[in-house]
Amino acid sequence: MNGPVRRLSIGLFAGFFALLISVTWIQVINADALKADPRNSRPALSERGKERGLMVTIDGTVVARSVEDPADPRSFVREYPEGEVFAHVVGYNSFLVGSAGLESAYAQELRSKRDLTISDLVTVILGRDLRPQSLEITLDAELQRAAYQALGGLKGGIVAIDPSTGAVLAAVSSPSFDPATLLGADAAAVWEGLLADPNGPLLDRATREIFPPGSSFKTVVAAAALDTGAADPNTQFPDPLEFQLPGSTATISNAGGGVCNNGESITLLQAFVVSCNTTFADLSVRLGAEDIGITAEALGFNTEIPFPWTVPEAVYPVEALSEDPAALAQSGIGERDVRAAPLHMAMVAAAVANDGVTPTPYLVNRIFDANGDTVEAFEPTPMGRAMAPATASVLTQMMERVVTEGTGRAAAVPGIRVAGKTGTSMGPEGLPNPWFIGFAPIEEPSIAVAILLEASSELGESASGGGVAAPIAADLIQLWLERSP
């Protein structure tokens, strides 16, 4: 009788063995996936009330911190002292509605490693710090506040970067929200309200929304023309009333409806300064999609930009345009399917300012521990050369003329040489998206900006880049140069 019992016991122990294998699968091999499942609220629950690291701007302004909960001395509450001004960059870490921004991208670094478990002891024995790490971010608080105020609650986005390093000096999206309101017990209701708001306060119009760049894209086309030698500033172009789109009965006309110069001819420089659409449509068809595409891609189009969060790619659809000359002509003035976020257009301006080398934008300067010691510092590496230094130099002169005598005169700052380019692209319902991109000072550029105001009825149908976006650039450049002499 022991024989059958023995055989059965083998079966039973096979059963126990199967339990062990399954438990190993669940708790060891597949544990991370189960932990990360969005329906599993445990990781978020265990973060609640724990200390998180600081976020400090380069000028020492605290934009996120944990303070002791007055109601429970062992628990912490998260504060965002700068509120809506930094909302899209700083983000939030909410138990009820999830996390976003740097709070999400650097969740591992910012969280406390103190779990009150045996692993704490091991960590301490290994000499590691349980306290959360903090972020030093590249933004300048004054510039950020000024940029947010300049948008005045209108829909829009502003990005300012240091052209020589790529450090993002300001990244603002308007309208905004106070991230602290997403931390309370009523977070879900607040969230629903923000989602339902027709002005889309949760959208990040600085780095995560793309728009047609309009005439500000002429900077890219001009760079391609100069770089390939297809044209120089004095190259003569016809000056028609309308540009006939190849293979189509449709035409491109100029802002205001007239000719750009005398109706006979116009130089590339003149066309750039007055933002002549017919010339750039013509130039674009002459250059072809491939040559413009090479420059555009070196400036960050059709490219994944490394950033704390996923930045949508700026679009210049080379293949489609090479088969469609009409679309190619329209793309030459930043319309049709061309798209970019203010971040991308700030990179275009920065590349011209930086002698033709496109910098890689970055937001986090360094990670430091609770003692203030640097854990990791970020050394920016440029994305690469987009144009020859000579091209950048000529283009800078052309951009300066835009500000001194062209469409961008409102961007002028007394005593400072400013380079820029305006744009006004077609938004929904025929309303305009005004743009301005530029940099200063020309001798040694320390700031490159891109300003977008998104089409809206509040902005009106007659708003233009030179009219509403350029003055903001002037204010920001002036403020920045006063702050960093």
Partner 1 sequence: MTRNAEGATIVAASVLAGFGVALVNFAQDRSVDAQTALTFLVFVIAFGGLHLAVRAFAPRATPLLLGPVTALTALGFFQIYRLDLALGSDRASFQRWWMLIAAGLAALTMLLLNRTTISILRRYRNITLLISLVLVLLPNLPTDWGFPLRGLEVNGSRLWVLLDVGFTTFQFQPAELAKLGLVAYVAGYLADHQRALREARRHIGPIAFPEPRQLIPLLITWGVSVLILISQRDLGASLLLFVGFVLLLYAATGTTGYLVAGGFLGVVAGVASYMAFDHVQRRVIAWLAPFEHYEDEGYQIAQGLFAMGTGSLSGAGPGLGRPDLIPNASTDFIFAAVGEELGFAGTVSVIALFALVVAVGLGIAFRSRDTFRKLLAAGLTFVLAVQTILIVGGIVRIVPLTGITLPFMSYGGSALVGNLILVALLLRISHEEAA
Q: How far apart are CA 430 and CA 226, in angstroms?
A: 33
Please, what is the Cα angle at 427 between 423 and 430, to 5 degrees? 110
Report the 3 state secondary structure along 337-378: CCEECHHHHHHHHHHHHCCCEECCCECEEEEECCCCCEEEEC
Q: Which residues fall within 8 angstroms of residue 293, CB to CB, at 6 or more apart?
A: 301, 302, 316, 318, 321
CB 198 within 8 A of CB 82: no
Which residue, 112 or 235, is less far from partner 1 as judged by CB?
Answer: 112
What Rg value do the Cα atoms of the chain yield, rounded? 27
Least distance in Å: CB of 8 to partner 1? 6
Which residue, 98 or 200, is less far from partner 1 as judged by CB?
Answer: 98
Least distance in Å: CB of 184 to partner 1? 21
Other CB atoms within a 10 A radius of the CB of residue 366 amount to 15
- The helix (H) or strand (E) run that includes residue 52 is none
Least distance in Å: CB of 12 to partner 1? 5
Which residue, 30 or 462, is less far from partner 1 as judged by CB?
Answer: 30
Query: Starting from the edge strand earliest in sequence, which strands make up the sheet with 168-174, in order?
Result: 168-174, 156-161, 447-453, 432-440, 419-426
Which residue, 121 or 185, is less far from partner 1 as judged by CB?
Answer: 121
Question: Closest Cα to residue 87, out of 71, 111, 103?
Answer: 103
Q: Which residues fall within 8 angstroms of residue 267, CB to CB, at 6 or more apart?
A: 233, 234, 235, 236, 237
Task: Name the residue with tokens 């920001």.
Answer: 476
Q: Which residues fall within 8 angstroms of residue 97, CB to CB, at 6 or more apart?
A: 182, 187, 188, 191
Which residue, 118 or 126, is less far from partner 1 as judged by CB?
Answer: 118
Least distance in Å: CB of 27 to partner 1? 4
Q: How far apart are CA 266 and CA 115, in angstroms?
A: 70
**Amino acid residing at 307:** F
Least distance in Å: CB of 186 to partner 1? 22
CB 110 within 8 A of CB 133: yes
Q: How would you classify the pairing of strands 134-137 and 55-57?
A: parallel
Which residue, 42 or 483, is less far from partner 1 as judged by CB?
Answer: 42
215 is catalytic: yes
State the residues that interact with partner 1 by CB under 8 A: 1-6, 8-9, 12-13, 15-16, 18-20, 22-24, 26-28, 30-35, 37, 39-43, 45-46, 74, 115-119
Which residue, 117 or 371, is less far from partner 1 as judged by CB?
Answer: 117
Catalytic residue among 94, 215, 425, 456: 215
Name the residues annotated as catalytic. 215
